[in-house]
Structure 1
Amino acid sequence: MSAAAPGTKAGGWREQAPLIFPALMLLAFFVVPFGLMIAVSLFERVAGGFYQPVLTTANYARFLSLFFGKILVFSLGLSALVSALCLIVGAPFTYLLTKLRRRWQVPWLVAMLAVLSLSEVIIGFSWSTLLSRTAGLSNLFVSLGLMDNPDAWTPGFFAVLAGMTYQAFPYAVLVLYPSFSRLDPSLAEAARTLGASPLRAFFTVILPALRMALIATFIIVFVFALGAYLLPQLLGRPEHWTLSVLITDQAIYQSNMPFAAAMAVFLVVTSLSLVLLTTTLGRKGRAA
């Protein structure tokens, strides 16, 4: 018995050894920078300079003011709307995609990955051209007789929403695809046997069976949209800028690093909280 204990202990160390390097990377590239950011957010800005290590909560108090509160509410609402649109379109799209033969699914998945390879700059300028007055969709509607004169739809809220939804949509599809692929086809067949139409079976049987995957996808897209930076600037007006844009503005152009750090801390904490919520819901779903 006494000889087995050291062997077991050594075996435990060998099992944990592969985790040492990822833990060190997490410590070096996340924990330490995040700790420094929290420290800077509590410092005081020096007029005409940078900041000094004087502890204060004024940066967080300013962030909760009416002006920045509106920006915060707008960022959260825009992210939630993008997530909802991605689910409304992505859920039926992914379900129909999994019903195709495998050889027809591959091109669609490759197309999703191709969109992910595009940078925000390319997406932003593409949507800016598509919604412009000179070469945009309004010219097509004029030629079809649906509009009298071409119109510019950018910059504007609709342009920001369309661009961010387009960018986030492939993430929603690729996250939902494994769950829809593993779905038992007998569920839909049983609903059809009981007299339900395909549409009713989808909403009353398929979606409830995948509610945990839908919630997880919503949160993942929400976190992704919350960090949007270039698209709100390229497609929107200043009133359509998100919190990420304001963080950059305060850090670079206003030279107010403590206040920018305070806003960044909130953004990171919100993202981590949503990821933790996703993990918790996933565990409860597996337990159920």
Structure 2
Amino acid sequence: MRRMPPERAADYYPIAYPALMLGLFFVVPFAIMLAISFFQRVQGGFYEPAFTFANYGRFLSVFFGEVLVFSLVLAALVSAVCLLLGVPFTYFLTKLSRKAQVFWLVALLGVLSLSEVIIGFAWSTLLSRTAGLSNLLVAIGFMDRPDAWTPGFGAVLTGLVYQAFPYTVLVLYPSFSRLDPSLMEASRTLGASPLKAFFTVVLPVLRKTLIATFIIVFIFALGAYLLPQILGRPQHWTLSVLITDQAVYQSNMPFAAAMAVFLVVASLSLVLVVAALNRKGAGQ
């Protein structure tokens, strides 16, 4: 069946409402933020209309460049770890009984109901020296004395993976549940081991879903704000933390808007690059 191009104005009605919502809640706010990024800050924490690149010039420094690179690397690591854990988890989840699947999905939704504050302080307790997991490892003989694992990069990564993991599974679950079981059976009949069949048959079939999941988790982790502050040191703070600091505590809204523009452009650039690679791979 070939899709016919729109011929009348009424043919565009189905996308009118999504386009309106996209314009109101993304295009308009982004345009306002972009305009403010060129404004000039004045004394007293205010700003006035202008057209200056000073805010962008200040951002293009070594310090803020390192923060941007760290934020991108952290988001990529969170996405990669979530996929490494979420893909086999979701695959085996779809092999369970319907009752067991419902139980695990409800448990994941329960994690999503937790606020970021609860998750942050819960992990800060679990990774602390006084009441953390290191005390359990000491009790069973794996460690000589308890140690504190927070604040640190590992703690930030663990907290973000814990927070993003339910989103990973919920995005992967529909595609894995609709996966044709005859694909695995055919590959096993041709002599492939279960592990080889999984990597050579299942994952290539779900390539687009995996890419979409990576992008969703990446953008989610790129906007992390509270967990890096609770579980990390200042060198582990993401760009979102600095944006809030400039906007709220430093009262420098134009500079905060310039950093936010960089963050949005970085996210959109990743989506466009991955989409282009995906189309190129599909065309070959």
TM-score norm. by structure 2 comes to: 0.90
Determine if contact 2:225/2:241 at 8 Å carries over to the other structure.
yes
Task: Give the direction of change, closer, same or farther, for the CA distance of 1:106–1:286 in structure 2 (3 Å limit).
Answer: farther
Corresponding residue for residue 194 of structure 2:
198
SS in 1 for 2:94: helix
Corresponding residue for residue 240 of structure 1:
236
**TM-aligned CA deviation for residue 270 of structure 1:** 2.5
Residue 161 of structure 1 pairs with residue 145 of structure 2: no
SS in 2 for 1:99: coil
Corresponding residue for residue 249 of structure 2:
253
Corresponding residue for residue 213 of structure 2:
217
Determine if contact 2:45/2:252 at 8 Å carries over to the other structure.
no
SS in 2 for 1:154: coil
**TM-aligned CA deviation for residue 101 of structure 1:** 1.8
Task: Give the direction of change, closer, same or farther, for the CA distance of 1:265–1:74 in structure 2 (3 Å limit).
Answer: same
Task: Give the direction of change, closer, same or farther, for the CA distance of 1:21–1:186 in structure 2 (3 Å limit).
Answer: closer
Corresponding residue for residue 144 of structure 2:
148
Corresponding residue for residue 270 of structure 1:
266
Larger Rg: 1
Q: State the superposition RMSD in angstroms.
A: 2.2
Distance 2:66 2:281 in 1: 35
Residue 126 of structure 1 pairs with residue 122 of structure 2: yes
Q: 1:226 aligns with which of 204, 222, 226?
A: 222
Task: Give the direction of change, closer, same or farther, for the CA distance of 1:138–1:45 in structure 2 (3 Å limit).
Answer: same
Q: 2:105 aligns with which of 86, 105, 109?
A: 109
**TM-aligned CA deviation for residue 278 of structure 1:** 5.8
Determine if contact 2:45/2:250 at 8 Å carries over to the other structure.
no
Distance 1:109 1:88 in 2: 19
Distance 1:164 1:276 in 2: 24
Q: Per-residue displacement from partner, 1:193-241 (whole Å, max 9, x unpaired)?
A: 2222212221222112211211111111101100011100111111000
Distance 1:172 1:283 in 2: 23
Q: Per-residue displacement from partner, 1:165-194 (whole Å, max 9, x unpaired)?
A: 000011111111111112121221122222
Distance 1:20 1:193 in 2: 49
Distance 1:185 1:18 in 2: 35
Corresponding residue for residue 37 of structure 1:
33
Residue 81 of structure 1 pairs with residue 77 of structure 2: yes
* Aligned residue type for 2:232: G
**TM-aligned CA deviation for residue 13 of structure 1:** 5.3
- In terms of mean alpha carbon deviation, does 70-79 or 125-134 score higher? 125-134
Q: Name the count of aligned residue pairs.
A: 279
Q: Structure 2 regions of 5+ residues with no counterpart?
A: 1-6
Q: Structure 1 regions of 5+ residues with no counterpart?
A: 1-8
1:43-54 paired onto structure 2 within 5 Å: 43-54=39-50
Identity %: 74
